[in-house]
Structure 1
Amino acid sequence: MQISVIIPVYNASEFLEKAVDSALQFDEVQEIVLVEDKSTDNSLEICQKLVVKNSKIKLYQHPDKGNHGAGATRNLGLEKANCEFISFLDADDYYLPNRFEAEKEIFKHTKIEGVFGAIGVEYLTEKGKQAFQDKFKNISLTTVNFPAEGEEVFRGLLGLTTKVFGTFFHLNALTIRKSALIKNDLRFNENLRVHQDSDFITKLAYHCYLKSGIIDKAIAVRGVHDNNRITKIVRYSREYNQRQLLLWTSLYNWADSNSILPEGKRKIYLTYKSFDLSLKTGLNKYFCIFLEVIKNPQILKTQYRFTYLNR
């Protein structure tokens, strides 16, 4: 295997070297693509020093040297990556020594286009730990509940399997054939400042043949600290619902233009509509809920129903 590791860099000076070193430990990693997104700390300077130290490390910025967000930054990384396989790593996270163990065997089967695994958590600050646990309880492993491949992965992510599939797997634990991304014209939605990873993974699971790898123990670690975007927004607050609506609007528009299974399209619509209703106010809100329940009574069974019923 020859792997390009894409690392988007924004205000990660404290963690970046550890992330890069964790990727350099693998012979399979032929290049590390750092894409710096106009940090306000000294991340760019650290990137420049790392490039000098190791020829596998390559540094890019957006053509205008501006800040464009994680989606656009990862897309630039995809454009610059040269290897047959692509993996991702956030600049404040790191790989474990078993990161590509499953991939070495699974990718011998040419029909497999992507492999995903589990990631663990390391608390770097007490404040970050408290915020993370308030939102996600005491979850030590971001993973799925059972092995899956092909269409079952897509169905699982949408909650359409008989057993609960689990949480979205993390980009840090995903390895994908670059040819699959090119064939299906898959990129990150640059209009989503957050949740562009969930949007990408859902579309990837539909268009590509994915298979679970190591899901019972971590192959990478997420660093939790004070500045994690994922912990800053209170779940089911108005801001949370606004950002979820952007995500599910993106998926709704995509599903509408693709021939996905009817139950998948319906699930995406109902989730999109739940967050849309949650943001309406006054009597108009209850009128819209009433009309939607008449048209689609299933909306009362979605896990997001209380986002609009209780707010």
Structure 2
Amino acid sequence: MIDISVIIPVYNAAQFLEKAVASAVHFDEVKEIILVEDKSTDNSLEISKKLAAENPKIKLFQHPDKGNHGAGATRNLGIEKATRSFITFLDADDYYLPNRFDAEKEIFNDPKIEGVFSAIGVEYLTEKGKQEYLTKFKDSPLTTVNYPAEGEEVFRGLLSLTPKTFGTFFHLNALTIRKSAIERNKLRFNENLRVHQDSDFNIKLSYHCYLKSGIIDKAVAIRGIHDDNRITKIVQYSPQYNQRQHIYWKSLYDWASANNLPQEYKKRIYLSFTSFDLSQKKGLTKYINILLEGIKNPEILKTKYRFNYYR
């Protein structure tokens, strides 16, 4: 049987937290639930203390200064505190379904598999949250990939380098990783990213570790959609969106350069980073830089890159 640490970052999740914990604690595979409280302004800390007192599986931590450090730093602290062979994540306003670890129980019999990812669904908790989500993501009942994949194909798919469309991405709620693989590759969330830490982490993880898709045609966890979901607040291709994408792709660009990725991968990341970098420039300078970059790298004039900086 696999032994799992579930990491739950807790910030202003008082109305959801007990349901999230209850969805995970009953699994035999789950040996500990690590709540990392990030200086909530509601009564999340009190609820976390109550849950930890009621069940020895549940452990509560805070940052050493008891301050607010964001989701990336909070998940990183959870990784440091995890003691089991496998790590999973669960957002405090989401929950697992009964089939959450069905694929893992089979796939991890192969020692070369270092991580498994599956599909998640959505539950609309408020009407406003629903409308914001549907405006941004249309009618997407599942967050998943479009076909089974493993190994390098996962990384290539996430970078849109496969002949077929791989799909959007996979969600942390449906990812299980060997802790030894995280430690061996020194993988952590980028604490400088306020959003997109998960996408940044997943791409780096899929390059360094051997991942395999699990259940991708039905949900193994549910994401709660409500008024306070940060990811739905950002209007696509708005200045705020472009700025955050710029920071995200710069994180990947710096990582690709530091790790000396193959040229094909470095160029794909460079072009995306440069496209959003150009979107930050103003006036005539912007178009001069676009022209110069187009001469140097004609591929950046393709629609998938051009669409970013023309906004």
Shorter-chain TM-score: which interval?
A: over 0.9
Q: 1:272 to 1:302 in 2, by over 3 A?
A: farther
Q: 1:297 to 1:141 in 2, by over 3 A?
A: same
Deviation at 1:302, TM superposition (A): 5.0
Deviation at 1:262, TM superposition (A): 1.6
Q: Tell me the amino acid that sits aligned with residue 70 of structure 1.
A: A
Do the aligned partners of 1:270 and 1:302 also contact (CA within 8 Å) in 2?
no
TM-score, normalised with respect to structure 2:
0.99
Give me the whole-angstrom Cα distance separating, in 2, the residues matched to 1:304 and 1:46. Answer: 46
Deviation at 1:202, TM superposition (A): 0.3
Q: What do the CA deviations read for 1:247-275 (whole angstroms, capped 9, x no partner)?
A: 10000011012232221111100000010
Correspondence 1:118-133 to 2 at 5 A: 118-133=119-134
Q: Does 1:32 align with 2:36?
A: no
Q: Tell me the amino acid that sits aligned with residue 169 of structure 1.
A: F
Correspondence 1:59-208 to 2 at 5 A: 59-208=60-209
Q: Tell me the amino acid that sits aligned with residue 18 of structure 2.
A: E
Do the aligned partners of 2:10 and 2:35 also contact (CA within 8 Å) in 1?
yes
> Secondary structure of 2:259's partner?
coil
Structure 2: runs of 5 or more not aligned: none
> Secondary structure of 1:90's partner?
coil
Give me the whole-angstrom Cα distance separating, in 1, the residues matched to 2:296 and 2:304. Answer: 18
Give me the whole-angstrom Cα distance separating, in 2, the residues matched to 1:245 and 1:25. Answer: 41
Deviation at 1:308, TM superposition (A): 1.2
Percent identity over the alignment is 75
Give me the whole-angstrom Cα distance separating, in 1, the residues matched to 2:308 and 2:159. Answer: 18
Do the aligned partners of 1:155 and 1:161 also contact (CA within 8 Å) in 2?
yes
Q: What do the CA deviations read for 1:159-202 (whole angstroms, capped 9, x no partner)?
A: 00000000110000000000000100000001111111111000
* Alignment coverage as a number of residue pairs: 310
TM-score, normalised with respect to structure 1:
0.99
Deviation at 1:127, TM superposition (A): 0.2
Do the aligned partners of 2:271 and 2:305 also contact (CA within 8 Å) in 1?
no
Q: Tell me the amino acid that sits aligned with residue 152 of structure 1.
A: E
Deviation at 1:52, TM superposition (A): 1.0
Give me the whole-angstrom Cα distance separating, in 2, the residues matched to 1:178 and 1:71. Answer: 17
- Residue 296 of structure 1 corresponds to 297
- Residue 263 of structure 2 corresponds to 262
Correspondence 1:267-282 to 2 at 5 A: 267-282=268-283
- Residue 212 of structure 1 corresponds to 213
Give me the whole-angstrom Cα distance separating, in 1, the residues matched to 2:280 and 2:183. Answer: 37
Q: 1:185 to 1:302 in 2, by over 3 A?
A: farther
- Residue 2 of structure 1 corresponds to 3
Q: Tell me the amino acid that sits aligned with residue 149 of structure 2.
A: A
Structure 1: runs of 5 or more not aligned: none
> Secondary structure of 2:304's partner?
coil
Q: Tell me the amino acid that sits aligned with residue 110 of structure 1.
A: P
- Residue 307 of structure 2 corresponds to 306
Q: What do the CA deviations read for 1:282-303 (whole angstroms, capped 9, x no partner)?
A: 1111111111111111011152
Q: Tell me the amino acid that sits aligned with residue 288 of structure 1.
A: N
